[in-house]
A and B are shown apart, each in its own frame.
Chain A
Amino acid sequence: MFIVKYRKIFFIISIITIALSFYAIATKGFNAGIDFKGGSIIEVSYDKRPDIETLTTALNTAGFEGARIQMAGENDVMIKTRALSEVDRQNLTSTLAFKDLKMEEKKFSSIGPTVGAELRVKAWYAIILVILGIVIFIAYAFRHVSEPISSWKYGMITTATLLHDIIVPAGVFVWLGKEVDTLFIVALLSIMGVSVHDTIVVFDRIRENLRLRISSDFATTVGMSLRQTFTRSINTSLTVMLVLATLFFFGPASTKDFSLILWIGIGIGTYSSVFIASPLLVVLEKWQSKR
């Protein structure tokens, strides 16, 4: 199978994309949403939208310096500020209600900084727990496979591909300047869930083929397993990516970014299961036999 043969090319591609992702994260940094750092966001709709200067002046005089104003849709305005109390909120709403304009408050959320900090910590715990849970499960599920490489190595490789699958979309997201919020973390966790599906299907085929002894050469066995599962990997990802595309184009505004990152992540997850995870098995086996 060409994938196993030319594995170095794919490894290099992945190393470069991971490096680029890290570069993007390091230079641009995560653009944390209000649910992670605390703050308020208000969305109002006007019959005739005032321009940015009018809004900025009004906000500054009312004591909301540093508020970020963003135009949304045709007549909507989104404003982000620090976490506001109920009194502040009423003040903000009345500031935004200009005399001769009709204004409607569509959405408001305010999240205190403690809640944000707590959510941040929990997000890390969740990611680490999912990875741990999956690794332990795979080591267990493949426990009868010890030749030529032991089951926990399957687990380790899965971890590597899982990290690969969340680092790259995270990098893309940072590069796009998108906001990182709770749904972003949910998306990363779901990507891991789907990606591990693909990896398990390929590994399961390798496990079966090893039992059937279809070849004495490990690399050939892996290659054949990959070929046998190739169509399914592509088709499954295709269906998932199709539904995610409908979610992106037709779905509610609040889940657009979510479907976008899932779309990217699932594409990358499929790629890594086929082009990275299984070839890595071959590499590990080669290292072992050399020793």
Chain B
Amino acid sequence: MWKTRIGALLLLIIGAGIGYFIYASEPKLHEGKTVLGQTFAEKFPFKLGLDLSGGVQLVYQADVSSIKPGEVKNAMDALRDVIERRINTFGVSEPIVQIEEKGGITGPVEERLLVELPGITDVKMAVDMIGQTPKLEFMKERSKEELDAYNKAVEKFNADKEAGKPLVISAELLAGPYVATDLNGRFLERAVLEFDQTTREPIVSIVFNKQGSDMFAELTKENVNKTIAIYLDRELGNPDPISAPVVREAILGGKAQITGKFTAQEAKTLVGRLNSGALPVDKLDLLSTQTISAPLGAQALMAGVWAGVWGLVIVAAFLVLWYRLPGLVSVVALAIYVVIMLALFKFMGVTLTAAGIAGFILSMGMAVDANILIFERTKEELRKGHGVHDAIREGFARAWTSIRDSNISSIITAVILFWFGTSLIKGFALVFGLGVIVSMFTAISVSRTLLFALPFSGHGAVVRTLFGSGFFKLK
């Protein structure tokens, strides 16, 4: 008996402790404090989804068609790192950049990148900062005949222009003097800003990665005494190469320098952009966008919190009025359920969304189910004339199979929901599944310990009234 009571006391103390921890970890709610992370508890804030915190969610589709199947994963990892670096330079707090593989069942596998930027509502800025890829291209001279044709076309064009004739842009002119090679910014390892020793002109030194070095060596070997043109963002309205040096000899070792028409500031920006990385995939397409303003998110959050509070109050009132003393015990168990779940959200870093809060509120209703089953069984046993302790013991034992089987089927549902999930649903499924497991512990172990710790035995009138049910006096 005393053992159970000590156990019960411990449970209550632990429950209260977790409750206090959650209270202490959210000073924003009661002190209006805004600088967090000073105390231990404050290091575990609730993670709010975009629909509650406000922000932008962007889903991109990565075009990986030119990448070998075995290397797609590496390319996607590299892509994530690149995008993360780009976002970090803008100082967004806790951005999420995730790779999502879609399809497989419904079609070919598609590589997606999910980007969530809490607190940012300017989509244009977000899209710009993610999509800005400096596209560095290395091009070689066309063959002699083609080059001659091009030069002729240029001469004709200039002559026409001087003579005031109508201007025609021929195919040769459009093609330009250079032809694309496989070497581009994707094979860059890093870029460094340097200054020429004598002229003090800015130089951008680039170092290729292993594969890039080989390609560069090959390219320079083939083009000795010819020019190699280096283009930046050619397709974005920069039709002229930023530099077109003449190759003196084959360059081994994978280093190159770009000198040319830029100021020190421009060179610095270029180095920054090159280092933040060219996209390791062919193309990024924006598939979907979502923005939610911060006030709207805050409003939804408050509504969710209040719905939870009211839900708890109403369920507690119903339980106490209907099931009386055991009802009170199950309310305590429910309170412990709530604090354990909230603590799990914090420690596991579960991202809470409006759907997740709905799932949590629903799970409070379901968590009571096990208790109701047990109490109904206990009542039956009491009616048979058993003493309170025996009746409770029987009640738990007999209700167990129902509780087990019904909860397993709920877990099956939660797992499938999780799989089905977009991030919105994953949150709901996780909360729902966790809720089922935690509620099995609180509704069974916690209420059992608490009930046995109560100083009642036998089946006298007082006991029957306390353990009876219904809104009216027990018949």
Contacts and interface: CB of A to CB of B under 8 A. Distances in A.
Contacts of A238: 318
User: Which 10 residue pairs across A and B have the least CB separation, nearest first?
Assistant: A240-B365, A252-B300, A251-B307, A193-B413, A243-B311, A126-B420, A250-B307, A109-B290, A243-B365, A197-B406
Nearest to B417: A189
B366 A240 contact: yes
Contacts of A23: none
Interface stretch (A57-65, A99-107, A279-287): A99-107
Interface string B48-76: 00010000000100000000000000000
B369 A186 contact: no
29 contacts: A83-B288, A104-B293, A105-B121, A109-B291, A110-B290, A114-B287, A118-B107, A125-B420, A130-B413, A133-B413, A141-B408, A189-B416, A197-B369, A197-B410, A200-B406, A201-B373, A229-B376, A232-B372, A236-B368, A238-B318, A242-B318, A243-B364, A247-B307, A250-B303, A250-B306, A251-B304, A252-B301, A258-B355, A262-B362
B289 A86 contact: yes
Interface of B: 51, 59, 102-103, 105-107, 121, 123-124, 127, 286-293, 295-296, 299-301, 303-304, 306-307, 310-311, 314-315, 318-319, 322, 354-355, 357-359, 361-362, 364-366, 368-369, 372-373, 376, 380, 398, 401-402, 405-406, 408-410, 412-414, 416-417, 419-420, 422, 424-425, 428, 432, 469
Nearest to B323: A235
Contact of A200 (B59, B319, B402): B402
Contact of A196 (B59, B315, B354, B406): B406
B464 to A, nearest CB: 17
Contacts of B322: 235
Most buried by B among A105, A107, A249: A107
Contact of B361 (A108, A183, A251): A251
A254 B362 contact: no
Interface string A236-278: 1011111110110111111100110010000000000000000
Nearest to B374: A232
A1 to B, nearest CB: 16
Given A247-B311, A251-B307, A126 B416 contact: yes
B358 A247 contact: yes
Contacts of A255: 304, 354-355, 357-358
A107 B54 CA distance: 9
A194 B310 contact: no
A89 B123 contact: yes
Contacts of A249: 307, 310
A109 B373 contact: no
Contacts of A228: 380
A249 to B, nearest CB: 8
Most buried by A among B300, B310, B359: B310
Nearest to B299: A252
Contact of A141 (B306, B362, B405): B405
Given A86-B286, A105-B291, A129 B409 contact: no
Nearest to A202: B402
A115 B288 contact: yes
A236 B121 contact: no
Interface string A75-104: 000000001011001100000000000001
Given A243-B361, A254-B300, A133 B405 contact: no
A214 B437 CA distance: 33
Interface of A: 83, 85-86, 89-90, 104-112, 114-115, 118-119, 121-123, 125-126, 129-130, 133-134, 137-138, 141, 182-183, 185-186, 189-190, 192-194, 196-197, 200-201, 204-205, 207-208, 228-229, 231-232, 235-236, 238-244, 246-247, 249-255, 258-259, 262
Contact of B123 (A86, A119, A185, A189): A86
A137 B293 contact: no
B358 A105 contact: no
Query: Which secondary structure characterizes the binding site on chain A?
Result: helix
Contacts of B304: 251-252, 255
Most buried by A among B293, B358, B412, B469: B358
Contacts of A190: 359, 362, 413, 417, 432
A259 B361 CA distance: 10
A185 B409 CA distance: 18
B397 to A, nearest CB: 11
Most buried by B among A85, A123, A129, A229: A129
Nearest to A44: B293
A89 B126 CA distance: 13
B314 A246 contact: yes
A86 B413 CA distance: 37
A182 B425 CA distance: 8
B330 to A, nearest CB: 10
Contact of A239 (B123, B372, B406): B372
A121 B420 CA distance: 10
A251 B306 CA distance: 7
Nearest to A235: B372
A109 B296 CA distance: 14
Most buried by B among A129, A229, A250, A262: A250
Given A106-B292, A183-B355, A118 B405 contact: no
B420 to A, nearest CB: 4
